[in-house]
Each structure stands twice: as structure tokens, then as C-alpha cells.
Structure 1
Amino acid sequence: MLEDVLAEDKAEYNWAGNLRYSAAEIAHPSSLEELRALVAAAPSVRAVGTRHSFNDIADSSALMVSLEKLSSAPVLDEAALIVTVDAGMRYGELAGFLAEHGYALHNLASLPHISVAGAVATATHGSGDRNGNLATAVAALELVTADGDVLRVDRSSPDFNGMVVSLGAVGIFTRITLEIEADYEVRQDVFTGVPWSSVEENFDAITSAAYSVSIFSSLAGPEASQVWLKSRTDADLPYAGKAGFFGGSAAVEPLHPLPGISAVSCSEQMGVPGSWSDRLSHFRLAFTPSNGDELQSEYLVERSSAVAAIRILRGMSAEIAPLLQICEIRTIARDDLWLSSSYGRESVGLHFTWKPRQAEVEALLSRIEAALAPLRPRPHWGKLFTLERPQLQELYPRFGDFSDLARRMDPQGTFVNPFLKRNVLG
């Protein structure tokens, strides 16, 4: 019975503690049939993953469902080089499974703790000039639609590129099929004190120096504090083990992106080779990377605008510094997913980890968005931003097509919540 599925799990906070969900209860179906019944009976429902979103994208005033109990082993298809997983599985767990079987994903996000469905639906990404975000690996989807039916789609299906990064608007993902490749090893080298003048003059050379590159900084002062290079050992390693990097120096010990914090929770550094599953993320699955007392936002601009964006942000450093913990800059390859923040353009992500002072952060975000407006910044869907539908629809060429798709698949608005009304559907 549905009453048995509705757990004692009452309305709770997200991971950062900055948002209390408005739903009266969170259901934990343990089978696909239970989920279908819940969705068919609910006037309004949203799925919640690992609760790592910093805004109300997953919130619902009626019912929220967690897929944690929909758990089965991943299914490998070695001939087709794909793996099918439950939507609620965490990337770190999937990475461990694939590595054990001799396979890999093309990319991982900074945190391995996030769910596959949540990351895919919001175009969450890792880094790399030639690496698309995590959603670009999706080859097929299974989802429960608003009437409780099960729909299976793949790349041959109409509107597939609109269904992948769908913000929960077209249905609840239950199973996701991802492309995989042969296992590979990665080494991680960290350099400190790279001058901003060198970053601006050599941006392309710096971001192409390894498979995945991250630049960390407070944005104040003449230098970027750290540059992390994640290099595949089956490729050229031009900076592996080098003492210098574009005016910076090799770190002499493992580092956390934030100064003065132990690197014990970070993936292994100092050039020690290891599985991609233990190196592509910044943090280890076995550790909680922080206590959650932080806020995050991110804007993606076209790669050709990277230096202009950096100069704008550094020009605002006096405003930004009092609220900032760290800024991370990295590149993401273009894709064809309608609401992906890298749709149709090579991108640079400008990621901010803020102190937990939300009113002040949101006031600052509106000024950052205004300053970056000529560069057409697209916000990460799962993080804090103040742009709303009129501005957002100008940033995505397929925005109208997506709105039409969402209304066609969910004519009664079962999956519509305040976030979608405010930002996408009106």
C-alpha cells in the first residue's frame, strides 16, 4: 500500500543546510511499481537525489520521492561498451564497480558523492578541454512519466537531447545507460603561485596541459593559488614531475583547495598514478568533503570569453573576497543537449564556493550576473543564481523547444514546482 511506502522521513534540509524542503513527506519506494503508483496518485511530485543542490530545484510542496531504495547491481554490456545503473546510484560507487571490471567513465565531477540522475538532469560536469559534461555519456533513459507509465528512450528517440538535461520536468529517471571505455590511470600534479598574467596570456596552453585542469583562486592578488593537473598516464605527460608550470612551482605536499585545511579528504596528489576512479574527482568518496556550511554558484561562458570573464571577476575581487571561500575555473567541451550549460559552445566554468551568508551572496550574484551579462553566462541549474526565465530563455537556443516538450510530456504539471515556474516554464 502507498501508506507503507511513505516513510517517517519528514521535510528535511538539503546538504548545505541553506534550504528546508517544503514537502510534508519524502517517500522511499523500493520497487518500480511502487514509484509508478506514487507518481500516478500525486498531484505534484519531485524526485530528490543526494540533496546537493543549493536551490529549490528538487523541492515540492506536495510529495518528494527518494530513489535510494531502488537499488540493483549495474548491468554491463561489454560488447556495446555501456553500463545501465539505477538513477539514484552515486558516481563514486559506480566508478568503483567499473574499475573493478576494467572499465571507466570519461569524466567525474568534483564530488563522487552525487547521484547519477541528479548530475545528469542538471548538466553537472567535471573538467577537460575535450570532455563533455556527465550527461553527454547518456545513451538511454528509463523514466516514469506523469501518468505513472514507464518510458524508455535512447539516442534514436525523438527529442532525446531534450530529455537528458531535463531538470526533472519530463519525468522521474529510474535507470540510466552510460557509455564506458577501457580502464585507464591518472596522476595528479598540483602547482602553486601561477601568476594571473601568465594565466591570461597562456589560458589555452594551461587548460590543455592535462586531461583535466582546475585553477583555484581567491581572485585577489597577483597569483592563482593552485592549478591541479589530472593527466592520463596513457597520454603525453609534458608537466608530470616538473618543478615549474607557467611561472608557478610544484607543490611540496598534498593540498586542499582551501588554504589551511587538511588534504586528507582530497584525491591523491604528488604524481602518484592510480585508477581514474580515485583521481578524476577532487574528493574521496569515503570522506565528507566539508560539513556543508557553504553555498555554491557557477556560471559558464564561451571559452573564447574566458580571459574577459577572469578580468571582470578579478576587478570585482574587493566585493567578492569577503564572501568567497574559493573560485575554481575549468573547461568543458560543447554538446547538443538542449538545456546543457555547454549546449552549442566550448565552455569555461566559473565556480564559486561561498561562505554561508545567503542574503549577501545572492545580492552579490546579481551584480556578478550583470557584470558578466555581455558574455552570456549560463548558471549551473543546481546552484544559486538570480537570473529568471526572461534572461535564461535568451541564453539557450532550444529553450522554447524544451518548454514545449515538458508541457507535452506533463500537461497537468505534475512535475512542475516553483523553480520550474520561475526559471523555465513560466
Structure 2
Amino acid sequence: MEQNWAGSHRYTAPALVRVRDVGEIRAVLRRPGPVHALGTRHSFTDLPDTAGTLIDVTGTEAPAIIDPDAGTALVTAGTRYAAIVEDLDAAGRALHNMGSLPHINVGGATQTATHGSGDRLGVLTTAVRSLRFLDADGILHEVARGDADFAALAVGVGAFGVVTDLTLDVVPRHLVRQDVYHGLSWDALLTDLDAVTSFAESVSLFTRWEADGAGQLWVKRRVADETSPVPDAVLDARRSPDAVSPIGSGDNITRLGVAGPWYLRVPHFRADAEPSWGGELQSEYFVARADAPAALAAVRAVADGFREHLIVSEIRTAAADGLWLSPAYERDSVALHFTWQNRDAAVRAALVGVEAALEPYAARPHWGKLHLFDRPGLERVVPRLADARAVFERVDPAGRFVNDHVIRVGLREPR
């Protein structure tokens, strides 16, 4: 059967249908039994799985319909970000942010509140002005920002229907320069985390939680032109022209030290290469920015218990939003991301310690990544979980989009 992009999870659905348009999606929905949409397979759990038919929407990829005057781009849910960015740039427009991987499809990324990094930048879903979806009967619905159900459905993890297309807000095109800073100490970071994360539009810290230093800062700064100066230091970290990539093979990362178009700098990985390490597991937890220094110190204190299974962690930020199931709902957030070796049992054991360390800080997991939270645990940290569940139950009363995962985490009621 099919597996996720990293080869670390296999789907158990007995059937998979690759569709090319709304009509073909409707044809699948006319079949009896459970269904669930599947995108570019960048999840690490059984979240997109089903006991019935998986609907692979990646075949719906199409050029974006860009309206520069309205500041929008209409894209199909199965379209990868990499497939639309050049056309946006040619039209003088850009996305407000991108994830680490441009390989991901817009529908899956926004439905799970995937994000980039930036104190003032919301998760990718905050760019969604409206979305259209097919319900279990194949009826097309549209919900827009400001509508009653939008805050529930915009980050809906596919638990209510099949998203077909989305209208995204776009911003003026711009240049970005990406630089690496070395030598940041834990003392400096934990004393003034805000100075680090606000240093540029997008800042990521890559760390292995070692005692002798916090790790590498990857700083993505908007610049006026290729000659714009960039600072040589932030706190005790210094800009370095040489960087050994902690996040991939080295030849799959976006270019460092030279300004370029936004879409070639904001993601960590090049669209024309395999991303990250492959064969990996990933986990991620969001805490309030005010709690982040204490949360980082708490995880650092238990790092000896998990470091042997860790490839690298990334620390990044996201602005607060009003989307009920966004991990950044109503709080400016710091996200602690873990890329693990593909050792399922060992990683799950390590997550016991990580989640215990983060429990005092009401950490919220990323929906598409490996975590140990169940319904009671999520009800403690996701304030609108019950409200979102009620919307999903109303939109999909027959439970066509229910699977074991969404029941386990409290997104749907058992059937």
C-alpha cells in the first residue's frame, strides 16, 4: 500500500483513487463507506488514513489564477506550493510565508496549520481568504473568512469533507537573503529569546540540545537589493559564510549568503531536490512565546534521554491567530520541532519525556506529526476542540470522514 513521503508510515486503507478534478472526487464520494483526502503525504501518522477509500488529490494540481488587483490567488487543494510560486513572482506577488518544504500541497498544509517562521507571520492557513469543499454527498460548499464556520473549517484536518480549492491572500514580491549565525550560547538565548526571534522576518534555531551551545541560527531577512548590508551578529552569535547543514544533505538546501527571490530563500529546502533526510519521523509542539524560555530549558534538561534518536530540532515562531484548531490559536507561539531517526518505538518512548517536560506550558502538538496526545490531553490545551468537533459532526453527520485517528484525538465522535 501507499506510504508517506519519508517512508516512515504506511497507510492501511484498502483502496486509493487518484483524482484529477471535482467530478472524479464526486464519483468516489458516490461509493459507500468511509473516505479521506490524501495530499503529498507529508504527515507522520494515520491522520489521513481511512478504513475505506483514500482520495489522492495531487492530480488536481493546476496553475494558480492570480488577481493582482484583489491581492489573491485561487489554487486547487492538491497543488504544491512549488508549482505556483514562479507565476506569483512573475505577477509581482508573493506568499506571506512558506513552510520548510515547498513540496507540500496547499490543501494539506493549510488544513493542518503548517507554518514557516516569523514573530509577525501567521501559520500558512492565515493566508486563506476562502475555501471550497465537497461534503459526503458531493455537494460543493464555500466558506470565507468571517463566516460562522470558517474558524473551524480552515484548519479542519480533512475531518469534515474534501477541500477542492482555496483563495489565498498574496503580498508584493520581495527579495530575501538567508544567512547562518554560529556560536549562540544557551545563556544568551534563554535570557533574551525575543532579541533572537525578532532579529529578522524569519529566524530558525537548529539545535541538538548540546550543553556547549544552542546551535545554528538560520536568518531570512527581506532586503531592498543584493547589496543591502546585513548585521554581523545577534547577541553572541556571529554570521558565518560557511555552514554545514544540520537539516539535510547540504546540496538540497536553499542558497545562503546571497539575496534572491522570496520563493528561493524562505523554504529551507530546494523544490528540485529531495527534502530533509528522508526515512524520518517528525514531532512538533507549540508553546506560548512568553513561556518559551522555560519550556526550552525544560526540554534541554531531559535531552540526554532522547538525543541518540534525534537528527535535529528546529525552534521557530508563529504569530497568534483566530483559527480554532491552529496550534497558535490566540497566542503568539514558539514551536519546538523534532526530526527523529525512523525508530518508532524508541521515539515514542522519548516523546513521553518530551511531553512531560512541556506539560506545564500547555504545549499543543502539530496535527500532522507524531505525538502521544489523546482526546482528554488535547481538550486541556486546545480551547475550541469541542466547538470544532461540533461543526464537523454537523457538516458530516454520517461520519464518512471519521477514522481512528480523529476519534483518538477528539476531532470526531466515535461511530
Scaled to the shorter chain, the TM-score interval is over 0.9
- Residue of structure 1 in register with 2:154 after alignment: 164
Q: Cα RMSD over matched residues?
A: 1.6
Alignment-mate amino acid for residue 217 of structure 2:
V
**2:368 corresponds to 1:378:** no
Given that residues 68 and 91 in structure 2 are in contact (C-alpha distance below 8 angstroms), is that contact kept between their aligned partners in structure 1?
no
- Residue of structure 1 in register with 2:318 after alignment: 332
Alignment-mate amino acid for residue 43 of structure 1:
G
Match of 2:256 among 269, 274, 278: 269
Q: Is the partner of 1:210 in helix, strand or coil?
A: coil
**2:49 corresponds to 1:59:** yes
1:344-381 per-position Cα deviation (integer Å, ceiling 9, x unaligned): 10000000001111101011112211221110000000
- Residue of structure 2 in register with 1:186 after alignment: 176
Match runs of 1:253-268 below 5 Å? 253-258=242-247, 262-268=249-255
Alignment-mate amino acid for residue 124 of structure 2:
L
- Residue of structure 1 in register with 2:127 after alignment: 137
**2:397 corresponds to 1:407:** no
Given that residues 143 and 149 in structure 2 are in contact (C-alpha distance below 8 angstroms), is that contact kept between their aligned partners in structure 1?
no
TM-superposed CA distance for 1:262, in Å, is: 4.3
Match runs of 1:144-159 below 5 Å? 144-159=134-149
Alignment-mate amino acid for residue 75 of structure 1:
I
Q: Is the partner of 1:41 in helix, strand or coil?
A: coil
- Residue of structure 2 in register with 1:252 after alignment: 241
Match of 2:353 among 362, 367, 378: 367
- Residue of structure 2 in register with 1:8 after alignment: none
1:363-410 per-position Cα deviation (integer Å, ceiling 9, x unaligned): 111221122111000000000000100010121221111111000000
TM-superposed CA distance for 1:205, in Å, is: 0.7
1:85-138 per-position Cα deviation (integer Å, ceiling 9, x unaligned): 010111122222211221100000011111100100000000000000000000
Given that residues 209 and 238 in structure 1 are in contact (C-alpha distance below 8 angstroms), is that contact kept between their aligned partners in structure 2?
no
Give, in whole Å, the separation in 2 of the partners of 1:143 and 1:158: 15
**2:8 corresponds to 1:18:** yes
Match of 2:90 among 90, 100, 108: 100
- Residue of structure 1 in register with 2:220 after alignment: 230
- Residue of structure 1 in register with 2:114 after alignment: 124
Give, in whole Å, the separation in 1 of the partners of 2:105 and 2:60: 12
Give, in whole Å, the separation in 1 of the partners of 2:64 and 2:276: 29
- Residue of structure 1 in register with 2:27 after alignment: 37
TM-superposed CA distance for 1:57, in Å, is: 0.7
Give, in whole Å, the separation in 2 of the partners of 1:239 and 1:356: 41
Give, in whole Å, the separation in 2 of the partners of 1:121 and 1:49: 11
Give, in whole Å, the separation in 1 of the partners of 2:359 and 2:129: 34
- Residue of structure 1 in register with 2:330 after alignment: 344
Given that residues 267 and 283 in structure 1 are in contact (C-alpha distance below 8 angstroms), is that contact kept between their aligned partners in structure 2?
yes
Please, which runs of 5 or more residues in structure 1 have no aligned partner? Answer: 1-10
TM-superposed CA distance for 1:292, in Å, is: 1.7
Given that residues 193 and 226 in structure 1 are in contact (C-alpha distance below 8 angstroms), is that contact kept between their aligned partners in structure 2?
yes
Q: Is the partner of 1:265 in helix, strand or coil?
A: coil
Give, in whole Å, the separation in 2 of the partners of 1:316 and 1:343: 27
Give, in whole Å, the separation in 1 of the partners of 2:149 and 2:307: 43
Match runs of 1:191-206 below 5 Å? 191-206=181-196
**2:69 corresponds to 1:79:** yes
- Residue of structure 2 in register with 1:391 after alignment: 377
Give, in whole Å, the separation in 2 of the partners of 1:234 and 1:158: 40
TM-superposed CA distance for 1:234, in Å, is: 4.2
Give, in whole Å, the separation in 2 of the partners of 1:25 and 1:55: 18
- Residue of structure 2 in register with 1:174 after alignment: 164
- Residue of structure 1 in register with 2:102 after alignment: 112
Normalised TM-score (structure 2): 0.96
- Judge which range, 159-168 or 62-71, deviates more: 62-71
Give, in whole Å, the separation in 2 of the partners of 1:97 and 1:78: 11
1:43-98 per-position Cα deviation (integer Å, ceiling 9, x unaligned): 10011111110001111121001112223321112221000001011112222221
- Residue of structure 1 in register with 2:79 after alignment: 89
Q: Is the partner of 1:88 in helix, strand or coil?
A: coil
Alignment-mate amino acid for residue 154 of structure 2:
V
Give, in whole Å, the separation in 1 of the partners of 2:93 and 2:288: 32
Q: Is the partner of 2:29 in helix, strand or coil?
A: helix
Give, in whole Å, the separation in 2 of the partners of 1:365 and 1:112: 27
Alignment-mate amino acid for residue 252 of structure 1:
P
- Residue of structure 2 in register with 1:4 after alignment: none
Alignment-mate amino acid for residue 275 of structure 1:
P
Give, in whole Å, the separation in 2 of the partners of 1:251 and 1:325: 22
Alignment-mate amino acid for residue 246 of structure 1:
L
Match of 2:305 among 316, 319, 324: 319
Match of 2:60 among 60, 63, 70: 70
